[in-house]
Amino acid sequence: VETPTPLTIGFLGGTGPQGRGLGLRMAQAGHRVLLGSRDAQRAAAVVEELAEVVGGLAGDVLGVGNEQACADADVVFVVLPYDGQAELLEQVAGHCAGKVVVNCVNALAFDKRGAVPVAVEAGSAAEECAALLPGARVSSAFHDISAVRLQRLEEPVEADVLICGDDDEANQLVVHLAGQIDGMRGVLAGPLRLSATIEAFTAVLIGVNRRYKTHASVRVVGV
């Protein structure tokens, strides 16, 4: 996978906190960002709102429909709630073949006690994504990175991103993108089948966040 800068990076479900946070950081790194939504007008309104919040975006950020966010992108980020993933990916699969797809979806459910992993037939949200997108080069990453911290553009995001996937070049591209976020490092964790563990571990981080009222992240020592 070549890493021309700027890349055009599309976000499926990009109007939520995770899409906004990663989108802003990728724009800061000089990429062209397409924040996708089921409603292109809503996406455009979110981008206007973001431009006010950050006082002018460092890069080129556009709000578009989800289909355009895939069709026009070099790299696609999936930042949807798990519940909405299957239906939406089926609609856009034709635009994702051959592309690097970064799945950030956690298969988690929430109740008053916090987050808990949900069983996924495919193994994990990321493996389900790979099964729904034939020919896409799926890498699983950013599951364990707080959207709140991503959106605080003036602060570094001190974190190691655990990345897994079966396509080495796609994984390397994600390491490169993670490294473009101030304070962040990508750590390669193994094949896509490990995504279930990473997604489930996010429930543990959410437990830490609730207990300590913070936005915790992981550092891997010895690497």
Reply yes or no: is the peptide bond before residue 6 cis, omega within 30 of 0: yes
C-beta of residue 47 within 8 angstroms of C-beta of residue 24: no
Q: Give the nearest distance from C-beta 197 to ligand NAP in angstroms.
A: 15
Q: Give the nearest distance from C-beta 175 to ligand NAP in angstroms.
A: 18
Q: How many CB atoms lie within 10 A of CB 211?
A: 10
C-beta of residue 159 within 8 angstroms of C-beta of residue 143: no
151 binds ligand NAP (CB under 6 A): no
Residue closer to ligand NAP by CB (options 156, 168) is 156
> What CA–CA distance (Å, rounded) separates 188 from 216?
20
Among 43, 104, 101, which Cα is nearest to 68's?
Answer: 43
Find the binding residues for ligand NAP in span 153-172 (CB under 6 A): none
143 binds ligand NAP (CB under 6 A): yes
Find the binding residues for ligand NAP in span 9-68 (CB under 6 A): 13, 15-19, 37-39, 42
Binding track, positions 99-138, relative to ligand NAP; x by CB under 6 A: -----xxx-x------------------------------
Interface pick for ligand NAP out of 47, 79, 126, 203 (rule CB under 6 A):
79
84 binds ligand NAP (CB under 6 A): yes
Which residues of this protein are in contact with ligand NAP, per CB under 6 A?
A: 13, 15-19, 37-39, 42, 79-84, 88, 104-106, 108, 143, 145-147
